[in-house]
Amino acid sequence: MERCKGKDALKVILWEEEGVKDLKTLLMASSSARKFVGVVGPEGGFTQQEIEVAKGAYFISVSLGHRILRSETAVITMVAIVQYELGDLSFNKS
């Protein structure tokens, strides 16, 4: 996390206990983001301490909604949402 602290990017950490912010809404509000860094946790989730370390490195904790996904599924879901919302899955070159 520390090596990402100065990185100029939209940085998110998927956290199943995040009850306010979701990934899709954050991406819609950050449509001008050019770079993205995403972190997916281990089975069983992150500890509160790990989340605090991530937030100290300017990561934003977000949820994928009410479903709890396996790590390997969560990462694929995150990438698909990011590509869709940031326009990476269209013919437009904007």
Domains and CATH numbers, the chain: 2-85 (3.40.1280.10)
pLDDT at 78: 94
3-state DSSP call for residue 14? Answer: strand
Half-sphere exposure of 73 (CA within 13 A, CB side): 6
63 Cβ partners below 8 Å, 6+ apart? 14, 15, 16, 18, 19, 21, 22, 23
Q: Is residue 11 over pLDDT 60?
A: yes
pLDDT of residue 68: 86
Average pLDDT of the residues in 15-34: 88
pLDDT digits (tens, 9 = 90+) for 35-85: 899 999 998 899 999 999 999 999 999 999 888 899 999 999 999 999 888
- Is residue 86 very low, low, confident or very high in pLDDT (cuts 50, 70, 90)? confident
